[in-house]
Amino acid sequence: MKREDLEHIIRAAAEITNEYEFVVVGSQSILGLIPNPPAVFTMSAEADIYPLNLCN
């Protein structure tokens, strides 16, 4: 997965949930800090996210 893919997932989730802040957990969370990480970190095709307000 590339950063653009993660951004697409977040936009789709925002559209469905009407939430606009999400927590990304797991291996894809690196994409938030490093836009173009080494290929070994981009092998996953899935991202685990949940709305930030779920925590409040």
All residue ranges of the chain with pLDDT < 70 are: 55-56
* Type of residue found at 40: V
Measure the CA–CA gap between 48 and 36, rounded to whole angstroms.
19
pTM above 0.95, yes or no: no
Q: What is the pLDDT of residue 11?
A: 97
Q: What is the pLDDT of residue 55?
A: 58
The end-to-end CA distance of the chain, in Å, is 29
Q: What is the pLDDT of residue 35?
A: 83
